[in-house]
Structure 1
Amino acid sequence: MSSPAAANRYAVALFELSKEKNMLEDIRADLQAVKQVFQDNEKLPALLHHPKVSADKKEQLLRESFTGLSEPVQNTLLLLLEKNRIDSVVLVAERFQELADEEQKVGHAVVHTVKPLSEAEQKLISENFARKVGKETLHIENQLDPRLIGGIKVQIGDTIFDGSVKGQLNRLERELVSGKR
C-alpha cells in the first residue's frame, strides 16, 4: 500500500537534489517516463512485490528496464524497491511534478469549449488566466463540452471561471428566481 506521506518525502528529497544538481527538467522527464511505464504495465508492480522473486532479480529488472534514466532517478527507484515502497512510484512522480511546477510558476488548466481551440486561442487563454492565478505559464488541456452552448469554462485547480452561455443562463435563472432583477 503506497503512502502519500512517504511518497512526498521521496519527492521532496529528489526535488531538492534536482535543484542542487541543476537537473530539474531531466529528472522531471525521467519521472514522467517511469510513471507512464508503471501506469501502462500493471504486471510490473506485481512482479516487484512478488515474494518468490529475489531482491537481486527485482533490482536487475529495474536496472535493465530503465537504462537511460538519470542517476538520481535510478537511485530513487532502487531505494523505493529496497524500502518496499515501489508502489509509491506514481505518487512520487506526481508530487515531484507539483513541486517543479510550483518552482517554475507553471499552472495547469482545463478549458471546456464547444469546439476545439486553436493554438492562438490556447496561447491567449494561457496568458490571460496565468496572470489571474499568479502563474507565469499555464498549460491548457482543451475538453469539448457541447452542453456549454458557447463561450468557455476554465478550471484551474479548485477555481472555475465560467464564461459559457450555459453558465450565464444559469446565473440569470437564479437571479430571476430570487427576485434580484
Structure 2
Amino acid sequence: MVNPDAVKHETVMDTGAEQLGKTYAQALLAAAAKAGITDKIVDELNRLVDEYLANSPQLAAAFASPRIDADEKSRVIDRVFGGDFDPLLLTFLKVMAGRDRLSHVAAVRSGALELFDQMSGQVLAKVSTAVPLDDALRTQITDRLGGALGKKVRLQEVVDADLIGGMVIRVGDTVFDSSVSNRLDAIAKRAGEGFSSKLMEKFDQLTQ
C-alpha cells in the first residue's frame, strides 16, 4: 500500500522540495532551450501535472511509491506518455525516476514556470474568483494588468467560493487592492451588464 504522505507533498511543497524542483527545472529548460522547444516542453509539463497526474491518483501514487523500482517507472513512462510527449521530456522523467525524484514533478513544474516567465519577460498573476472567469473578463484583466505592469501577464485562475462573488489578484507578494482596482474600473465599464461587470463591482466593494 502506498504511503499517502508520499503523494501529499506534491501539492504542499516544503522548502527542500521547492529548491529541488528549481534545480531540476533549470536542467530541463536549459536542454529544451538548446533544442529550441522550450514552449513545447513547458506545455507538456503542464499537461503532465494538470491532466495526467491530477486525473489519475493511481499514476500519481505510482510516481511517488518507493516500492516501484526505477525500471518499472520508466516502463510506465513509456507506456503512458510515449506517444504523446517529446523524447526530451520522457528522458528527463526517466532520469528523475532513476534518482527516485518522480514524486517532485509538481515542484519541477512550478520551478519551470517561474523560470519560463523570467526567460520570456512574463509575470504571473494569481486571480481568485468565486466562479470561473469568462473569456471576455479574462482577456480584459490580462490586458489591463499587462499595461499596468509593463509585462506580458500569465494568469493562474483559482476558484474560491468563499470569496462570495469577489475577486483577489496577486502578483508576487502584491495584492491588488482598492488603489489598483481603480485602474481596473474601465474593465467593468467596457464589459457592460452581466457577470463581468458584477464581478468587478464586487471586487471594488471588497477592496475599498
TM-score interval, smaller chain: 0.7 to 0.9
1:167 is the counterpart of 2:181:
no
Q: In 1, are the aligned partners of 2:46 and 2:109 still within 8 Å (CA)?
A: yes
CA distance in 2 between counterparts of 1:80 and 1:9 reads 12
* Residue 157, structure 1, aligned to residue 197, structure 2: no
User: How far apart, in 2, do the equivalents of 1:45 and 1:78 lie?
Assistant: 15
Distance in 1, matches of 2:114 and 2:36, equals 17
1:122 aligns with 2:141: no
Structure number with bigger Rg: 1
Distance 1:78 1:18 in 2: 16
Say yes or no: does 1:38 pair with 2:53: yes
After TM superposition, list the pairs within 5 Å mapping 1:43-122 onto structure 2.
43-48=58-63, 49-51=65-67, 53-67=68-82, 68-111=84-127, 119-122=135-138
* Segments ≥4 residues shifted beyond 6 Å: 113-116
Q: How many aligned residue pairs are there?
A: 164
Q: Percent identity?
A: 21
What are structure 1's unaligned runs of at least 5 residues? 169-181
Q: For residues 22-74 of structure 1, give each alpha carbon's deviation from its aligned partner in whole angstroms, at most 9, with x where no partner exists.
A: 101110111112113223323224334243x4543222111111112111110
Provide TM-score, normalisation by structure 2.
Answer: 0.65
After TM superposition, give the deviation of residue 81 of structure 1 in Å.
0.4
- One-letter amino acid of the structure 2 residue matched with residue 20 of structure 1: K
Match of 1:25 in 2: 39
Q: 1:78 to 1:131 in 2, by over 3 A?
A: same
- In the superposition, the TM-score normalised over structure 1's length comes to 0.74
Q: CA RMSD in A?
A: 2.9
What secondary structure does 1:84 align onto? coil
Give the Cα separation in 1 of the matches to 2:87 and 2:49: 16
Q: Which has the higher helix share?
A: 2
Distance 1:77 1:60 in 2: 11
Matched position secondary structure for 1:139: strand
1:80 deviates by 0.4
